[in-house]
Chain A
């Protein structure tokens, strides 16, 4: 596999006396689709917040393409190619769909001239056209002018991904993209993310829907109580005793294992 695009080296994060992330290291290979999974409260979103710079790690180092990014303020990281979506949709409720997407272009257009050029005064600026084209390609062309507060949940989730995508990131961090979606919407989302991945963007996905994880991702990192308990292929993740124990508890894990062995014998 190629060189890692993003890597965490012995990263820990404490909030006061509470250790949320303890000594976590993993690598996200270039072009991969990596899943970050774990039970509720395992620290998955905290890892995302550390990578995107909302929090600084207490110990350890985060590197992007071999360069440490810990010293960079959160707002500069999207310019380096780290874009993310949020667990609870965080679109700007008073902005229209296309304006939300145009906000994602900030990292590429945020210089003084870019800031002072009208983007919606005289017809359509090139930024607006680009945002509308991308929405169109992602099958969201029906809503560009609408204020997002009134749109259905599944649509808003997709818009958030488009907003992250329009920054032309190298790595896209998706925090539970399928949460609250029904089966059809999830299948849609999977195809959507596959298209994004094929265009060369590396994906790091936090997700609870295991069938989506298995069909989308090739590589999984499992966290439990802030520690890494598994790092490997998504195919074998369910057979790992530590992972089973984290999700099901000791006794159930035992049962599942004997069950699996029985299956093997049969």
Chain B
């Protein structure tokens, strides 16, 4: 496999894990715009343990995941007292605090970043992403998953049904934080280098977009969202020059044209994002869509029996 594809698969797997980390709180109705903060915690923990103590990768990544999860659990109590746009701001502020702390820390390399000695190839993130996907599907099929979705719909009634909604929200937030930290740890080892600039606000926004546009009602949503938005820029990288030369040929320019400006990819990405919001406001994959697919399958099976 070429290095290009290996890189894409690694980043795809990391994005899927990261998206699931944000999906869990979002599925309970808590928008988490602090994804990059949790990812940075996991990445820097793994990087530090690997660089300073030479610990093996499973340990560094595992500890990174636990650190992000514990921090998520601890800040969930104060942060989940806020709602709506204030919660978004609070989680965003958390990510900024993490970034600021790391930037000013000599031990963690400050603005210089840190190189990570242990390297992992694309297979490991992909396998881990597979397990995380299975785990989230399992979680959503349990009563815990049911109460998460119920909390998202109506907190007062869910409480009256006997659900400890605070516990559900805090757990979802903490597990989500741990998954984001796991994604960070894998990132550190896959790219052999961490610098705080790669855990900026845009990363938090993008991962939340994966989840919201993919769909928050089922565990298929983040998978679809992360896959779509990770692969689309790569697809555009090959397709765009062809489109440009086609357009040039159309208006009669014969000589070869230079490749288009890279920022066109982001223009198209933005346009697609808006189109998704207009056409599928509840996300690409909704429950009704899954139900319909399942219904069609079972009814066609019934017809075959009849």
A residues contacting B by CB (< 8 A) are: 52-54, 74-79, 84, 86, 90, 92-96, 99, 102-104, 106-107, 109-110, 114-121, 127, 145-147, 163, 167
Query: A149 — nearest CB in chain B belongs to which residue?
Result: B288
Give, as a whole number of angstroms, the nearest-CB distance from B230 to chain A: 27
Instruction: Please tell me if B305 contacts chain A, counting CB pairs below 8 Å.
Output: no
**Count the A-B residue pairs with Cβ separation under 8 angstroms: how many?**
97
Using Cβ atoms and an 8 Å threshold, which residues of chain B touch A109? 143
Q: A52-B160, A74-B159, A118-B138 are in contact. Are A102 and B143 (CB under 8 A)?
A: yes
Using Cβ atoms and an 8 Å threshold, which residues of chain A touch B165? 75
Give 4 new A-B contacts, CB below 8 A, not counting A121-B142, A146-B291.
A79-B162, A86-B157, A93-B153, A167-B161
Cβ contacts B270-306/A at 8 Å (1 or 0 each): 0000000000000000011001000100000000000
Question: Main secondary structure on chain B at its contact with chain A?
Answer: helix
Q: A94-B217, A95-B146, A167-B162 are in contact. Are A119 and B157 (CB under 8 A)?
A: no
- Taken together as a complex, chains A and B put the C-alpha atoms of A127 and B147 apart, in Å, by 14
Instruction: Report which of A77, A110, A116, A145 forms a contact with B291, defined as CB distance below 8 A.
Output: A145
- Taken together as a complex, chains A and B put the C-alpha atoms of A75 and B164 apart, in Å, by 7
Instruction: Report yes or no: A78 in contact with B161, Cβ–Cβ below 8 A.
Output: yes
Instruction: Please tell me if B192 contacts chain A, counting CB pairs below 8 Å.
Output: no
Instruction: Please tell me if B198 contacts chain A, counting CB pairs below 8 Å.
Output: no
Give, as a whole number of angstroms, the nearest-CB distance from B92 to chain A: 26
Give, as a whole number of angstroms, the nearest-CB distance from B14 to chain A: 26
Query: B137 — nearest CB in chain A belongs to which residue?
Result: A121
Instruction: Report yes or no: A75 in contact with B149, Cβ–Cβ below 8 A.
Output: no
Query: A52 — nearest CB in chain B belongs to which residue?
Result: B160
Instruction: Please tell me if B101 contacts chain A, counting CB pairs below 8 Å.
Output: no
B residues 136-151 with Cβ under 8 Å of A? 137-138, 141-144, 146-147, 149-150
- Taken together as a complex, chains A and B put the C-alpha atoms of A86 and B161 apart, in Å, by 12
Instruction: Report yes or no: A110 in contact with B143, Cβ–Cβ below 8 A.
Output: yes
Instruction: Report yes or no: A94 in contact with B160, Cβ–Cβ below 8 A.
Output: no
